[in-house]
Structure 1
Amino acid sequence: MTAEFDIFLATLPGLEPVLCDEVRHKGFKRPKPVPGGVVLKGGWPEIWRANLWVRGASRVLARIDSFRVEHLAQLDRRARHVPWASVLRPDIPFRVEASCSASRIYHSGAAAERIATAIRETLGAPSADDAEVTVMARIDHDICTISIDTSGEPLHKRGYKEAVNAAPMRETMASLFLRQCGYDGNEPVLDPMCGSGTFVIEAAEIAARLNPGRARHFAFEKLATFDAEAWETMRAVRSGRTPPARFQGSDRDAGAIAMSLANAERAGVADITEFRRCAISDIVPPEGPPGLVIVNPPYGTRLGDRPKLMPLYQALGRVLMERFHGWRVGIIATDARLAHATGLPFLPTDAPVPHGGLRVTLFRTAPLP
């Protein structure tokens, strides 16, 4: 339990520095951004904490071995020397996922089968396609890295969102966009196109200091390294607070408002969030100090969509400039021309990130004049 190893927290390409900033602020040792995520040092308690605490990671991998391989027979031999019994249980099914890149071993399916056979024959554990415990093998430039996916279901599945609208923003992504906008839980947040309420609920949870993994199960609970008593002690720690602000969402669609209300209730933040049916032209800032407006408007992915959406973006920008003095704005868009149609004074942007088969960019402002 005290031995340290590499822990990999996965995220979307382009968001690695933002995730690293979150991980550093939550007290993890020596986090370093790398392509596709963040690497840090720790043991199994850090694995549990990362799954429980970190908002921006999509999954947490424990790296348990690494070695050079150049052909399948060598992989078969080397895989039998991995200390599987120290991590996996012989009574719990597992499955293996493999990927190969720039290596002499290029058939990922054959590589996965060799590793699965090695585990079955050395540990006695059964393999199953639907197993919750996943062994991940990455063979890159003839170096095979063996990891265990300790999360199970992706971490954006917080355990409360049953109702979603079309093309929803994942909670992990939403949390990182909020962080990029400078949000730290101490100011109001408004989403005037709230959909199923992701930004509003995520902002409320951050402000209330609610752990994102508090309501779900994790794959590490099926591993040989799991200590149920220590885990329950960790989960029982409460750091919640009453937020200094409230969090509001609006949408022109009544169905979206109903989804948001239900999701906020399940998340336990119904008392600090508000949702109402409202057109863009009718939004007004809530009473109190300025905060953050963050919105994920329609993208217009088909040819001819942009002219139809231009009036919506123009109206949004006009309302924000006229009524939201001192507020910062974050807009997620695939088309820079639509974003700039708002007329808002955007800061320089970072590289776009993948989302639902598209590439989206966060357009941010300083406090509006």
Structure 2
Amino acid sequence: MTEAPFEIFLSTAPGLEPYLLEETQELGFHEAKAMTGGVSFMGTWPDVWRANLWSRGASRVLARIGSFRAFHLAQLDKRARKFPWGDILRPNVPVRVEATCKKSKIYHDRAAAQRIERAIHETLGAPITKDASLRLMMRIDDDLCTFSLDTSGAPLHQRGFKQFVAKAPMRETMAVLLLRACGYTGTEPVLDPMCGSGTFLIEAAEMAKGFASGRARSFAFEDLASFDSAAWETLRAAAKPNDPDQKFIGFDRDTGAVKGANENAARAGVADVISITHQPVSNLNRPDGPPGLVIVNPPYGARIGTKKPLYGLYASLGERLKNNFSGWRVGLVTTEADLAKTTGLPFIQPGPPIAHGGLKIKLWTTTPLP
């Protein structure tokens, strides 16, 4: 019997949906569509596995496993007990349930969640625990109850390699989508003059090498009834890494960050193509070889220190890039438009703001510098 397709949703920070859509379609999910907060397409459980394994930009992969209408709690309870939980969940795997209610006759989130918990436990036997790694989400909107499973477990930015984390870190998933927003496809050199823990460089190098982003971690879908361990191992083994020609170059004025970033790169298996050394922005020079992308996430003043001393830093960065990096493109991440403009670089009008750790950042980009 052929498995019926269901909706698969890849989540991201609002503002990054077009770049996640681009990646998702490149992975072969050609019918994918962007919507607020992510990308949606129809697929089956092997597609869920592949999306978790290969999507570098998604924060999570959610599976929409079913829905029904309910107008009161008794009806919710009755229909939840008829739902085929055994086709999806295992009786020996703990589950936690989260519920949200909007514009519905059932308006009490916790009461709704309790009905689902009781139905799962009493019809399937699965334990209900608050700290279970397997998360079932129910959304009741206009009296329609929709169930989604978080098939990722730990957020997908947790690749398993970045043990050293610098101040104000950027998540790997966001770094990937910002690289894509700069036009990076894995075929050119990348330079980060303030690399911190090396996230931009490591992700760019992994893209160039063709590494699967989820190759070293586990996922929540491995605890589902639909999981086929032999098929999963076959899928994991199908990856065929490349041997890129270009280099990935990083600098930081903090010697601790340089050491930590190099260790992160080694754990990720990309140390052979990455060079990260100690250097201030004022000494930045063009590396040998063809032009590529300079991408930088400098301090904003909103989180580290104050804003006023940063004008000199941004001005110095802009001066070094204008004088030494002809032909290179630039991508700069900041919360502050006036700091970006202080560089004097010919930025294109940035896109919408992107939520990042309680702040709203924008990506400022250039075409190849004159």
Q: TM-score, normalised by structure 1?
A: 0.97
Deviation for aligned residue 1:156: 0.3
3-state DSSP of counterpart to 2:97: strand
Deviation for aligned residue 1:193: 0.5
**Which structure 1 segments of 5+ residues have no match?**
none
Q: Which residue of 2 aligns with 1:342?
A: 343
Distance 1:248 1:2 in 2: 46
**Which structure 2 segments of 5+ residues have no match?**
none
- The one-letter code sitting in structure 1 at the alignment partner of 2:101 is C
Residues 345-360 of structure 1 mapped to structure 2, 5 A cutoff: 345-360=346-361
Which deviates the most, 256-265 or 65-74? 65-74
Deviation for aligned residue 1:14: 1.1
- The one-letter code sitting in structure 1 at the alignment partner of 2:38 is G
- The one-letter code sitting in structure 2 at the alignment partner of 1:205 is E
3-state DSSP of counterpart to 1:39: strand
Deviation for aligned residue 1:99: 1.9
- The one-letter code sitting in structure 1 at the alignment partner of 2:330 is V
Contact persistence 1:4–1:41 (CA under 8 A): yes
3-state DSSP of counterpart to 1:305: coil
Deviation for aligned residue 1:303: 12
Deviation for aligned residue 1:113: 1.4
Deviation for aligned residue 1:72: 2.1
Distance 1:253 1:302 in 2: 17
1:193-234: CA deviation from partner (whole Å, max 9, x where unpaired): 101000000000000000000000000000100000000000
Contact persistence 1:187–1:245 (CA under 8 A): yes
3-state DSSP of counterpart to 2:32: strand
Q: Which residue of 2 aligns with 1:237?
A: 238
3-state DSSP of counterpart to 1:232: helix
- The one-letter code sitting in structure 1 at the alignment partner of 2:317 is L
Q: Which residue of 1 aligns with 2:39?
A: 38
Q: Which residue of 2 aligns with 1:272?
A: 273
Contact persistence 2:33–2:41 (CA under 8 A): yes
- The one-letter code sitting in structure 2 at the alignment partner of 1:221 is E
Q: CA 1:172 to 1:77, structure 2 compared with 1: closer, same or farther past 3 Å?
A: same
3-state DSSP of counterpart to 2:308: helix
3-state DSSP of counterpart to 2:165: coil
1:177 equivalent to 2:181? Answer: no
Deviation for aligned residue 1:266: 0.6
Which deviates the most, 293-302 or 37-46? 293-302
Distance 2:106 2:335 in 1: 37
Q: Which residue of 2 aligns with 1:156?
A: 157
1:107-146: CA deviation from partner (whole Å, max 9, x where unpaired): 2222221111110011111111111111111222322210
Contact persistence 1:181–1:330 (CA under 8 A): yes
3-state DSSP of counterpart to 2:89: coil
Distance 2:90 2:161 in 1: 30
Residues 205-220 of structure 1 mapped to structure 2, 5 A cutoff: 205-220=206-221
Runs of 4 or more, structure 1, over 6 Å off, are none
1:4 equivalent to 2:5? Answer: yes
Deviation for aligned residue 1:365: 0.4
Distance 1:233 1:273 in 2: 30
Deviation for aligned residue 1:106: 2.6
Q: Which residue of 2 aligns with 1:99?
A: 100
1:283-336: CA deviation from partner (whole Å, max 9, x where unpaired): 112211000000000011179933221111111111100001000000001011
Q: Which residue of 1 aligns with 2:191?
A: 190
RMSD after superposition? 1.4
Distance 2:168 2:332 in 1: 16
- The one-letter code sitting in structure 1 at the alignment partner of 2:50 is R
Contact persistence 1:163–1:196 (CA under 8 A): yes
Q: Which residue of 2 aligns with 1:73?
A: 74
Q: TM-score, normalised by structure 2?
A: 0.97
Distance 1:183 1:315 in 2: 25
3-state DSSP of counterpart to 1:306: coil
Distance 1:328 1:190 in 2: 10
1:226 equivalent to 2:231? Answer: no
Q: Which residue of 2 aligns with 1:140?
A: 141
Contact persistence 1:29–1:42 (CA under 8 A): no
Distance 1:233 1:143 in 2: 38
Q: Which residue of 2 aligns with 1:289?
A: 290
Contact persistence 2:168–2:303 (CA under 8 A): no
Q: CA 1:134 to 1:363, structure 2 compared with 1: closer, same or farther past 3 Å?
A: same
Distance 1:234 1:319 in 2: 45
1:257-303: CA deviation from partner (whole Å, max 9, x where unpaired): 11101100110101110100000011112211000000000011179
Contact persistence 1:105–1:142 (CA under 8 A): yes
Q: Which residue of 2 aligns with 1:50?
A: 51
- The one-letter code sitting in structure 2 at the alignment partner of 1:342 is T
- The one-letter code sitting in structure 2 at the alignment partner of 1:42 is G
- The one-letter code sitting in structure 1 at the alignment partner of 2:172 is E
- The one-letter code sitting in structure 2 at the alignment partner of 1:355 is H
Give identity over the alignment, percent. 58
Which deviates the most, 72-81 or 166-175? 72-81
Deviation for aligned residue 1:71: 2.5
Contact persistence 2:168–2:304 (CA under 8 A): no
- The one-letter code sitting in structure 1 at the alignment partner of 2:237 is A
Q: Say how many residue pairs are matched.
A: 369
